[in-house]
């Protein structure tokens, strides 16, 4: 039985899960909750922290996007080869989530007043990832170690979002630029990225991107 991602009809915090599942050749089901349905309150009451996404793997139900991503990382062997690699993957992923938090604040709270400043400041927030890639001996391929991890999917998702916001944002970062191209052309991922399913799902709920 396929796993189910329950979320609003946007990519938002769940697209990274779809990138991971698609690239791992997994099938999943999207259960879309309209904002009207959510406003009725029943689903919110049932959610552990009153929020989505919700994730279901047979009878196992999970909330919190970070926990869901790490669960998928463990389940599909995308969490490094030992404790040290796992810790570095966690560290990278936490850095990616810090960037996501800044991005979401811009999109939902400050878009009209802060967009220009955000883009000017972006190199400071992207350079740590360029450095991480440079420091990884296998870094021309993945952000930690020599095998793809859940942090790679999260970094890719965030970089893709930023390339929509600021198409030139990776020009000064050669490793990140080739990284995005390389990961996006992995065969199964490429099929998903070019699918109607992906293209028809808006990035953010307020239409800003």
Q: Which residues bind ligand GTS (CB under 6 A)?
A: 12-13, 44, 50-53, 64-66
Residue with smaller CB distance to ligand GTS, 48 or 134 = 48
Distance CA 43, CA 33 (A): 9
Residue with smaller CB distance to ligand GTS, 44 or 190 = 44
State the minimum distance, in angstroms, from the CB of residue 66 to ligand GTS: 6
Residue with smaller CB distance to ligand GTS, 142 or 150 = 150
Which residue, judged by CB position, is nearest to ligand GTS in the bound state? 51
Residue with smaller CB distance to ligand GTS, 123 or 205 = 205
**Residues 6+ away with beta carbon under 8 Å from 103:** 158, 161, 162, 165
State the minimum distance, in angstroms, from the CB of residue 12 to ligand GTS: 4
Q: Is the peptide bond before 53 cis (omega within 30 degrees of 0)?
A: yes
Distance CA 25, CA 44 (A): 31
120-to-57, 115, 123, 169 alpha-carbon distances in Å: 41, 9, 7, 9
State the minimum distance, in angstroms, from the CB of residue 52 to ligand GTS: 4
């Amino acid at each position: 039985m396929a796993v189910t991602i329950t979320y609003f009809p946007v990519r938002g915090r769940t697209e990274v899960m779809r990138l991971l599942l698609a690239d791992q050749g997994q099938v999943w089901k999207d259960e879309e909750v309209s904002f009207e349905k959510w406003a009725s309150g029943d689903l919110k009451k049932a959610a552990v922290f009153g929020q989505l996404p919700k994730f279901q793997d047979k009878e196992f139900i999970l909330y919190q996007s970070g926990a869901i991503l790490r669960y998928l990382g463990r389940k599909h062997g995308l969490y490094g080869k030992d404790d040290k690699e796992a810790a570095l993957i966690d560290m990278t992923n936490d850095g990616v989530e810090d960037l996501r938090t800044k991005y979401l604040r811009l999109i939902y709270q400050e878009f009209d007043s802060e967009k220009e400043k955000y883009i000017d400041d972006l190199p400071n927030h992207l350079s740590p990832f360029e450095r991480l890639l440079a420091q990884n001996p296998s870094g021309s391929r993945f952000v930690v170690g020599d095998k793809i991890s859940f942090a790679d999917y999260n970094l890719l998702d965030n970089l893709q979002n930023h390339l929509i916001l600021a198409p030139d944002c990776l020009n000064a970062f050669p490793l990140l630029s080739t990284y995005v191209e390389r990961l996006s052309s992995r065969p199964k991922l490429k099929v998903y990225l070019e699918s109607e399913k992906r293209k028809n799902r808006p990035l953010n709920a307020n239409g800003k991107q």
